A and B are shown apart, each in its own frame.
Chain A
Amino acid sequence: MIPLSWYMALATILFCIGVCGFLTRRNVIVMLLSIELMLNGVNINLVAMSYFLESMRGQVFTFFIITVAAAEAAIGLGIAIALYRSRRTVHVDNLNQLKG
């Protein structure tokens, strides 16, 4: 039996990789992927806790997160395409019209 702390460690590591990726990468698509990685860290956390606490709530929550993440990706990619059409780039360093 794998103890809960291992799952939580995995979840935390995944989440931290996501945070680092989001903060260091400069491509919009990779940043979007990093957010998904963070969400998957949360999902592992919730499912593991749900199993050990014998409560269904965590698993239900996970389903909602997966669903919302899909909707979020649809909108995010839509915005990325609109951005590419107007600027010919999805690199955040080039997004510097708005500053001050």
Chain B
Amino acid sequence: MSTTVAVNWAAVEPIIPELLLVGIAVLLIILDLFAPRQRQLLPWLTVVGCLAVGVMVLGSRPAVAFGGMFVIDGYAVFFKTLCLTGVVVTTLMSEHFRRISGMHQGEYYSLLVLSAVGMLIMASAGDLMILYLGLELMALPIYALVGLHKTDNRTSEAAIKYFLMGGFASALLLFGMSLLFGLTGTTDIASIARVIEVHALAGNPALAAALGLLIAGFCFKVAVAPFHLWTPDVYEGAPTVVTAFMSVAPKAAAFAVFGRVLFYGLPELQLHWGPILAVLALLTMAVGNITALCQRSLKRMLAYSSVAHAGYALLGLLAGTTQGLAATMSYLFIYLFMNLGAFAILILLATEGNPRETLDDCKGLAARSPIAAALMLVFFFSLIGIPPTAGFIGKFYLLKAAFSAGYILTVVGAVLFSAISAYFYLRVVRYMYMDEGEQNMVFHFSPGMIAALAFCVLGVLGLGIFPGLLFDWAGSAALAG
């Protein structure tokens, strides 16, 4: 069985966006090393590069490359766009954060771009091998990013916790994959679904074990309770801008592979994973929202809020319908705008030598900077799910999907916990508008920060008023996939 392998450039065409991103990452390292005076150009090079790759991704034709290992369909394009948007907005915020915190720039931008390569590969993974490689390619740069700010005592603790938990989760995931390979004889996700259907393996106990391990591994990655324990520590300890990035892009990419494996690889087991995810979603929303109530640190509160939002996003997956998948996809996109926006304001609060991450630092924000307070208000309203923000529409479609799939108890729980969450978000709003704070703070809006904030607030309000654009796209992407 030997075939000659000539270099066939046409076969490489589907992965050109990824290759270009790798090229940009290498270029960023080289520029950082050999042109130290031009360092202020690096963020802009990152932004332009990611935008160019984004255009290529949006223009790419549906294809199946490398013998089914690499799939470009609507689903992949949607998640790739989401992750690249996350990288671009994070980069826009980074310059401001770097100046305030004195973080050494070094390889920061190239690590960010390399992690984006991993996310793109995850979104396109048609094979468990590629899925694993993409996952690690995404995670390894982020471990380094978390620990990059070495002068801050907390970062290396956060990094080691994230690293150990990430490695453990990967190992669980791999054991699940090895069982799946043993049962079906293939690692191709589409073929796994076929083999399970043809050989009627749905009741096999080994398959149930594989499913359990896979779900546990993925739940670690997307921070779903009871596998969320690393999240608050890591999110609090990491540099704020990295936290913002981690809570959005890697989570979306992990949801992409979660959805891909469950919907395209194990649809026969929907009767098993639907109820499991329903319980996990309920638990996640409970833990995230209730623990967030008693936090004094704004950053840690946002970490728990991010756990809770992973629970909401699960509502669409557990429904097991195309409609549900589309709802999860749209919600992740909306979550990008509102969460990155909230973190951008948190970064703006920080001053040199004082990270200002507690709730008390928000006091009197409206008097000091009405614009920052108003933006925070919009993002928090969206996180609660108050119309006319996008968060409301997103949550509405998630609840609708779970409700029509018959998970009424979960939906009731979600609504209740969502109401509870209003308390801790609105408490911040009260501090901002009704309390007196120190007056000596000056806000510097750097150009990148203005661009990031404007983009986020436009996304939150624009998608709140015209949700059709996003939901039609997500719907067709979920169908086409």
User: Which residue numbers of A lie inside 8 Å of B, CB to CB?
Assistant: 8, 11, 15, 18, 22, 28, 31-32, 35, 38-39, 41-42, 45-46, 49-50, 53, 55, 57-58, 60-61, 64-65, 68, 71-72, 75-76, 78-80, 82-83, 85-87, 92, 95, 97-100
Given A42-B171, A45-B179, A98-B233, answer yes or no on A60-B158 (Cβ-Cβ < 8 Å).
Answer: no
B147 vs chain A, min Cβ distance (A) = 5
- List chain A residues, Cβ under 8 A from B236: 98, 100
* Candidates B150, B170, B179, B300; contact of A100 at CB < 8 Å: B300
Q: Are A98 and B168 in contact, with the CB atoms below 8 A?
A: no
Complex: how many Å from CA A89 to CA B186? Answer: 44
| A-B contact list, 10 entries, CB within 8 Å | A18-B171, A42-B174, A46-B178, A50-B181, A60-B129, A76-B163, A82-B150, A95-B160, A98-B233, A98-B236
Q: Are A82 and B159 in contact, with the CB atoms below 8 A?
A: yes
Q: Are A35 and B171 in contact, with the CB atoms below 8 A?
A: yes
B355 vs chain A, min Cβ distance (A) = 13
Given A15-B175, A39-B174, A100-B300, answer yes or no on A57-B187 (Cβ-Cβ < 8 Å).
Answer: yes
A8-B182, A64-B132 known; 14 other A-B pairs, CB under 8 Å? A31-B164, A38-B172, A41-B175, A46-B178, A57-B129, A61-B181, A75-B163, A79-B156, A87-B153, A97-B157, A97-B237, A98-B157, A98-B233, A100-B297
Count of inter-chain pairs, beta carbons less than 8 A: 130
Tell yes or no: B33 within 8 A of A by CB: no
Q: Are B159 and A28 in contact, with the CB atoms below 8 A?
A: no
Query: What is the total number of residues of chain B having a CB less than 8 Å from a CB of chain A?
Result: 43
Q: Are A42 and B160 in contact, with the CB atoms below 8 A?
A: no
Q: Are B171 and A100 in contact, with the CB atoms below 8 A?
A: no
Complex: how many Å from CA A89 to CA B232? Answer: 22
Complex: how many Å from CA A15 to CA B170? Answer: 13
Q: Are A79 and B233 in contact, with the CB atoms below 8 A?
A: no
- List chain B residues, Cβ under 8 A from A28: 160, 164
Interface of B is mostly: helix
Given A65-B174, A97-B154, A99-B233, answer yes or no on A76-B179 (Cβ-Cβ < 8 Å).
Answer: no
Complex: how many Å from CA A82 to CA B133? Answer: 26
Query: Which residue of chain A has the shortest Cβ distance to B237 in the bound complex?
Result: A98
B8 vs chain A, min Cβ distance (A) = 20
Given A72-B136, A79-B147, A98-B158, answer yes or no on A53-B164 (Cβ-Cβ < 8 Å).
Answer: no
Centre residue among B143, B178, B187 by max chain A CB count within 10 A: B178
Complex: how many Å from CA A45 to CA B153? Answer: 41
- List chain A residues, Cβ under 8 A from B175: 15, 38, 41-42, 45
Q: Are B160 and A79 in contact, with the CB atoms below 8 A?
A: yes
Query: Which residue of chain B has the shortest Cβ distance to A90 in the bound complex?
Result: B160
B141-185 vs A, CB cutoff 8 Å, 1 = contact: the mask equals 001100100100110111111011001101110110111011001
Complex: how many Å from CA A15 to CA B209? Answer: 14
- List chain B residues, Cβ under 8 A from A60: 129
B195 vs chain A, min Cβ distance (A) = 12
Tell yes or no: B140 within 8 A of A by CB: yes
- List chain B residues, Cβ under 8 A from A32: 164, 167
Given A35-B171, A55-B186, A95-B160, answer yes or no on A82-B147 (Cβ-Cβ < 8 Å).
Answer: yes
Complex: how many Å from CA A65 to CA B160? Answer: 21
Tell yes or no: B105 within 8 A of A by CB: no
Query: Which residue of chain A has the shortest Cβ distance to B178 in the bound complex?
Result: A45
* Candidates B158, B159, B168, B178; contact of A49 at CB < 8 Å: B178
Complex: how many Å from CA A55 to CA B109? Answer: 40
A-B pairs with lowest CB-CB distance, top 8: A38-B171, A49-B182, A98-B233, A45-B178, A83-B156, A35-B167, A42-B174, A82-B156
Query: Which residue of chain A has the shortest Cβ distance to B143 in the bound complex?
Result: A75
Query: Which residue of chain B has the shortest Cβ distance to A82 in the bound complex?
Result: B156
A18 vs chain B, min Cβ distance (A) = 7
A7 vs chain B, min Cβ distance (A) = 10
* Candidates A41, A68, A76, A98; contact of B136 at CB < 8 Å: A68
Q: Are B150 and A86 in contact, with the CB atoms below 8 A?
A: yes
Q: Are A86 and B156 in contact, with the CB atoms below 8 A?
A: yes
Given A35-B164, A53-B185, A65-B174, answer yes or no on A75-B136 (Cβ-Cβ < 8 Å).
Answer: no
Q: Are A64 and B129 in contact, with the CB atoms below 8 A?
A: yes
- List chain A residues, Cβ under 8 A from B161: 95, 98
Tell yes or no: B295 within 8 A of A by CB: yes
Q: Are A76 and B167 in contact, with the CB atoms below 8 A?
A: yes
Complex: how many Å from CA A50 to CA B154? Answer: 44
B120-136 vs A, CB cutoff 8 Å, 1 = contact: the mask equals 00000000110011001
- List chain B residues, Cβ under 8 A from A39: 171, 174
A22 vs chain B, min Cβ distance (A) = 6
Centre residue among B132, B175, B237 by max chain A CB count within 10 A: B175
